[in-house]
């Protein structure tokens, strides 16, 4: 069921082996063990069940974490443990399909062609290789479309996507209003046809600590909501150093994307993060990406802005071009004034 990593990246793996024996010119990466931290924890129950003071404190906690960390975790988020467990079970069932079947996702799962992805096609060195596979699915492929009534995967994804979309809208509205933005913006601009679910699987890797599960990057959206298992492996940059995120079975992880960093004129932080590999255990996660229409103009909240104005289409096209050309995303530095 695993993608053919060893065959596709034979040359890069050979270079790593050569580096281990001291051969000149060989590329390699060594990931050191980093300290495990708890992310800031926000109890969202205070938004509906609390007094006015508790509501405002909850909003302030979300805003503060977005400024100081760019990452936080939420509990009492409105998505039941039963639904999370069912979503995880259906996700595992999907990834257990043979590779040849998964790679024809538009035929067996009715997802759009190109939804199934693995590795890093543009990798030119071991540092650019991601040891993972994913289904990157538009919500328009899930919500009220082709699936039959007995399609359990699709119905589970539809239920999950609906709930996580509402959570994303709620959090984005809080963060946007703090910047003086209209509360209607996300409802009007971030709709099912522009947002995505990405189901991830990280197979065991025979050279853990030397190959990424997902190479370092920032997210090209407003915000991301992540549900991960308890294996661990997510790491992020805090105060200039990498830290590991301690899994919390009751929480969802929220992280700020590039677009919110631009909107906030660098008040909110879109933080670099990565996934490291494990030699024995596979890891699963599912991410929701809150993205706008392609023609939505992104600009800073105040002048002078740190970044020039750009459309989401322009930003996304530049990211894709850089990945094709260099093997990695450059992102916001391309748009600094």
Residue with tokens 């938004």: 47
Within 10 Å of residue 303's Cβ, how many Cβ atoms? 7
Integer Cα distance of 35 and 33 in angstroms: 7
Integer Cα distance of 283 and 276 in angstroms: 10
Is 283 noted as a catalytic residue in this protein? yes
Task: Please answer whether residues 278 and 235 qualify as being in contact, where contact means their C-beta atoms are separated by less than 8 angstroms.
Answer: no
Distance of CA 317 to the CA centre of its chain: 18
Q: Order of strands, edge to edge, in the sheet holding 212-217? A: 36-37, 241-245, 234-238, 273-276, 212-217
Q: Which residues make Cβ contacts (< 8 Å) with residue 52, sequence separation at least 6? A: none
Please tell me which residue in 16, 46, 154, 283 is annotated as part of the active site.
283
Which residues are known catalytic residues? 283
């Amino acid at each position: 069921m695993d993608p053919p990593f060893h065959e596709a990246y034979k040359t890069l793996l050979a270079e790593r082996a050569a580096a281990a024996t001291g051969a000149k010119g060989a590329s390699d990466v060594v990931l050191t063990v980093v300290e495990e931290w708890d992310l800031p924890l926000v109890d969202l129950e205070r938004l509906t069940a609390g007094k006015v003071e508790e509501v405002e404190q909850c909003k302030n906690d979300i805003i503060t974490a977005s400024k100081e960390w760019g990452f936080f975790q939420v509990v009492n988020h409105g998505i039941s443990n039963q639904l999370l467990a069912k979503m995880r079970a259906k996700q595992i069932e999907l990834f257990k399909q043979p590779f040849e079947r998964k790679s024809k996702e538009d035929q067996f799962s009715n997802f759009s062609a190109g939804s199934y992805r693995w590795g890093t096609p543009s990798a030119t060195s071991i540092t650019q290789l991601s040891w993972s596979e994913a289904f990157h699915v538009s919500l328009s492929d899930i919500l009220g479309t082709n699936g039959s009534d007995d399609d359990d995967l699709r119905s589970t994804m539809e239920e999950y996507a609906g709930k996580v979309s509402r959570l994303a809208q709620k959090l984005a509205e809080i963060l946007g209003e703090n910047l003086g933005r209209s509360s209607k913006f996300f409802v009007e601009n971030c709709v099912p046809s522009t947002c995505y679910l990405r189901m991830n699987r990280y197979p065991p890797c025979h050279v853990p600590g030397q190959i990424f599960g997902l190479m370092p990057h920032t997210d090209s959206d407003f915000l991301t909501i992540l549900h991960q298992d308890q294996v661990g492996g997510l790491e992020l940059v805090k105060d200039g150093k990498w830290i590991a995120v301690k899994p919390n079975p009751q929480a969802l992880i929220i992280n700020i994307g590039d677009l919110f960093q631009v909107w906030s004129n660098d008040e909110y932080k879109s933080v670099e993060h990565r996934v490291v590999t494990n030699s024995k255990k596979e890891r699963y996660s599912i991410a929701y990406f809150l993205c706008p229409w392609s023609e939505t103009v992104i600009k800073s909240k105040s002048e002078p802005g740190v970044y020039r104005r750009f459309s989401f289409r322009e930003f996304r096209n530049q990211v894709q071009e850089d990945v094709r050309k260099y093997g990695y995303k450059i992102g916001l530095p391309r748009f600094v004034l």
